[in-house]
Structure 1
Amino acid sequence: MSATVSLISPIDGSVYLERPVMAADLAHAAASRARAAQPAWAARPLDKRIALVLAAVAEVGKTTDRMAVELANQMGRPVRYGGEFGGFAERAGKMAELAEEGLAPLVIEDSDSFLRQILREPQGVVFVVAPWNYPYMTAINTIAPALIAGNTVVLKHAAQTLLVGERLAEAFHAVGVPADVFQNLVLDHDTTAQLIAARAFDVVNFTGSVGGGRAMERAAAGTFTQVATELGGKDPGYVRADADLDAAVDTLIDGAMFNSGQCCCGIERIYVHDSLYDAFVDKAVALVKGYRLGNPLDEETTIGPMAHVRFAAEARAQISEAVAAGAMAHIAPFPEDDGAAYLTPQILTAVTHDMRVMRDETFGPVVGIMAVKDDAEAIQRINDSDFGLTVSLWTRDVQAALDIGAKVQTGTVFMNRCDYLDPALCWTGCKDTGRGTGLSVLAYHALTRPKSYHLKKV
């Protein structure tokens, strides 16, 4: 009897769907088909590849109502937010727009004597291991530029959002992308590791936990396979004395709580200048007390359950540990808090960096708020972390943001906004957040390899 993966809905703990795990021999055969299909796919003109990717995006767009309901059932995001098609289409569209620039030859010399240039060639087979928290948008970040660049793609989606991988494959195949060019596979960890170790893929693109990223690197050790990772985060916000207080509260608290705090670049710690601290906390607490926790299929729900009971358990543990160590919890338990997946959103003060809630990734609707006296203290606090994905700076002074940005260890510096991926800019990180180059023209450089031509004309 073959092993299966069960997707447990956070709405009520029931089994939403089950899928068989692909046997190892079939998985190797699928990877071989992807490699065999790649040259013909790369030989298609660039504009044809772009057109097919955009057609697949449009195909997904025909079922946005279904998308919202299926996401609610799979990972708990309220249907009132309408799924992910807006960001999904924006990212794919921008990558299509940037393709010619990202894949353009770099001509060093074209004279009567020499043609010297650097061309970009597809890497080959790209393995995308996608996460459950934004399952359409994070997947398309790599799928779109990989296919446009002439690679074939094998997708392994998270167990919590298995249906998303199937929906993506349906859409790409419906518009004419060959079945072997884009494949969605249900794989266990052992088979995944075997495939990577066997050099079945030329690029592994993994978004997930730090532990998962280490497993990918261990599997690839000695193979020279390119491994790109976006792992944990503990993204900070810093509110300077000159900030627009209301805008800072509204945006940072939304950045901490939206999607039940399950955002790659969600705000997990906030540092506020002494002069604004009390007012910031008061406004933040009032905002969160107005949230409605409940069934994500209910249009009135503003914050749904966490995607899995074990994720909520980790957030609860961090909260309780912090309170036991002296932190103050400002939000009384909501009536809908069931001690399982439905978790009261929480604001903590009197926190310190000795507490896990200010150091470990929480990935839940919880944020700690600390007062700081100046930029120097804020920078020290921001950098006192194992992670480095984004920082959100709140100020009216662009030069101050640039100066602070130069001193913080992070992949993206936001000013007066947060929790957004600008597809024209590179999505990357440092430290335990991993090493990846997503979106922007640089994504094309990561998904292709340079080939140099030094041609002497006779």
Structure 2
Amino acid sequence: MTAESPSAQGPTAQGPAAQSPAGASSVFAVRSPATGQVVSEHPVHGAEEVAAAVARGRRAAAAWAGLGWSGRKQRLLAWKRSLARRMDELASLVAEETGKPVHDARAEVLLAVVHLDWAARNARRVLKVRRVPSGPLSAHQRALLGYRPLGVIGVIGPWNYPVYTPMGSIGYALAAGNAVVFKPSELTAGVGEFLAASFADAAPDCADLLQCVTGPGETGQALAAAGVDKVAFTGSPGTARKVAAVCAGSLTPLLAECGGKDAVLVDADADLGAAADAVVWGAMANAGQTCAGVERVYAVESVHEELCERIVRAARELAPGTQYGPMTLSGQLDVVDRHMKEALAGGARAPLGGPESVRPPYVHPVVLVDVPEDSPAMTEETFGPVVAVNRVRDLDEAVTRANASAYGLGAAVFSGSRARGLAVAQRLDSGAVAVNSVLGFAAVPSLPFGGTGESGYGRIHGEEGLRAFAVPRSVTVRRFAPYADLTSFATARERAERAVELGRRIHARI
């Protein structure tokens, strides 16, 4: 789920050279956002090192394909078990580099493990060769559809969920038969190195299949230009456009996950206790640094006041540094401050918090009410522990306002009627919707994840996530000679014309 490093892409020690290319001429430091202390140092990989990693990955991909479905599954499940056993070690590293509490980091690792398990176990079923109908015109042909790996996938990951988010591409790309070169955010380079090294430990016969290249945005740009077969990027829409421009030069396909401005719609008969609890968690967890987190709430006016009171009571109890961590990217503090000040200047109220809530490196919970719809707090991604709660006449107005956003990632609906909630969900222009919960879809590996508009394009997770890293391959096998072979000059013209006329008559009637 999104965000990016200051330069907009990028064990605690660097792994083996095969997993983290050597030859970098300089290093950079990863610092704790909570203390400012240096956590670790990593090499800055330039274009030559990145290109070499891609070349090694291409050779590794050929060997990986030769292992077949069962061989790949066996090694991916071994990696999954290793990550599960080393959860505390990895979670501690995530907490150190991002500032989030260890318990949040453990949950993130678990989600990644669940998705890796699903991808490994379902890749063959989704991507194997299968027979499809040939149709009357081609009854003499057996039609087969299968998928082949793309080759080498370049993954550019974020810092806010440095395990879960990139693993939605890494795990599925590997399961589909590809090699991966992974460029983590420079704020969480240690996590990227850990993932590559842990795979090498779990699958020692698959050298160079998952490599990590580290550095600032220029390293990510080099990866996009290095001849990979697809780029999976997570970050801001602005940076996605820059990556897309690089990819366009070589017609390299791009999967872009670019954040959101997710809305929660609350009906008049909703369980307000459950809705308030979900809103507070969805807006404040990970200090609000979640692409599919809750940023807007539209409550029917008859319950708006009570819902606001419940949200304020719950949010007031949160303690930054305990329930959630600091702002990982210090520059985001200015964005949060600007959004709050412009909302208040435009007539909004703050029953909880306000500009005084920004106390670096933390932002204390903020609840805004009656925020103008054209305020940046309603139109731009805030990416902090701030939630705006606006009143609407009914759910129809709520749907209209929710859909007015340039983003289209996730949403939620709370209603006393699950049927009505589901009906409203179908009207929302977002890639995923949860009814009577928030982010319920994130933990369901069979569901695809992604958005539209400023939220990007393409899907990770689920069957669509596997197919995103494969290419359809169509095969026909001639079974017998047809009455009139329309692909041969040897077929008598009269016979061919009779066959075409017969087909025309059939389709003119049905």
- Matches of residues 211-360 of structure 1 in structure 2 within 5 Å? 211-294=238-321, 301-332=322-353, 339-360=359-380
Matches of 2:446 and 2:28, distance apart in 1: 36
Matches of 2:76 and 2:242, distance apart in 1: 31
Q: Does 1:363 align with 2:386?
A: no
Matches of 1:194 and 1:249, distance apart in 2: 45
Q: Is the 8 A contact 2:259 2:407 kept in 1?
A: yes
Cross-structure match for 1:90: 114
Between 399-408 and 22-31, the greater mean CA deviation after superposition: 399-408
The number of equivalent residue pairs is 450
Q: Does 1:434 align with 2:459?
A: no
Superposed CA deviations along residues 222-263 of structure 1, whole A, max 9, x for unmatched, are: 422110011020000000012111111101111010010011
Greater radius of gyration (CA): 2
Q: Letter of the aligned partner of 1:400 in structure 2?
A: R
Q: Is the 8 A contact 2:367 2:386 kept in 1?
A: yes
TM-score in terms of structure 1 length: 0.93
Superposed CA deviations along residues 262-318 of structure 1, whole A, max 9, x for unmatched, are: 112100000111111111001110111111123xxxxxx112211122122211221
- 3-state SS of 1:190 partner: helix
> Once the 2 structures are TM-superposed, how far is the Cα of residue 70 of structure 1 from its aligned partner?
1.9
> Once the 2 structures are TM-superposed, how far is the Cα of residue 342 of structure 1 from its aligned partner?
1.1
Superposed CA deviations along residues 186-220 of structure 1, whole A, max 9, x for unmatched, are: 1443343344335x111100111111211110001
Matches of 2:264 and 2:89, distance apart in 1: 34
Instruction: Give the RMSD, CA atoms, in angstroms.
Output: 2.0
- Matches of residues 16-415 of structure 1 in structure 2 within 5 Å? 16-83=39-106, 84-108=108-132, 113-177=140-204, 178-198=206-226, 200-294=227-321, 301-332=322-353, 339-415=359-435
- 3-state SS of 1:454 partner: strand
Matches of 1:261 and 1:364, distance apart in 2: 4
Superposed CA deviations along residues 109-129 of structure 1, whole A, max 9, x for unmatched, are: 599953211111001111111
> Once the 2 structures are TM-superposed, how far is the Cα of residue 82 of structure 1 from its aligned partner?
5.0
Tell me which of 473, 477, 482 is aligned to 1:455.
477
Taking a change above 3 Å as real, the CA distance of residues 197 and 334 of structure 1, as seen in their structure-2 partners, is closer
Q: Is the 8 A contact 1:379 1:407 kept in 2?
A: yes
5+ residue gaps, structure 2, are 1-23, 481-510
Between 9-18 and 385-394, the greater mean CA deviation after superposition: 9-18
Between 9-18 and 360-369, the greater mean CA deviation after superposition: 9-18
Q: Is the 8 A contact 2:156 2:220 kept in 1?
A: no
Between 59-68 and 383-392, the greater mean CA deviation after superposition: 59-68
Q: Letter of the aligned partner of 2:414 in structure 1?
A: W
TM-score in terms of structure 2 length: 0.84
Q: Percent identity among equivalent residues?
A: 33
Taking a change above 3 Å as real, the CA distance of residues 334 and 312 of structure 1, as seen in their structure-2 partners, is closer
Between 401-410 and 249-258, the greater mean CA deviation after superposition: 401-410
Taking a change above 3 Å as real, the CA distance of residues 357 and 186 of structure 1, as seen in their structure-2 partners, is same
> Once the 2 structures are TM-superposed, how far is the Cα of residue 175 of structure 1 from its aligned partner?
1.2
Matches of 1:51 and 1:264, distance apart in 2: 33
> Once the 2 structures are TM-superposed, how far is the Cα of residue 419 of structure 1 from its aligned partner?
2.1
Q: Is the 8 A contact 2:44 2:219 kept in 1?
A: no
- 3-state SS of 2:144 partner: strand
Taking a change above 3 Å as real, the CA distance of residues 85 and 323 of structure 1, as seen in their structure-2 partners, is same
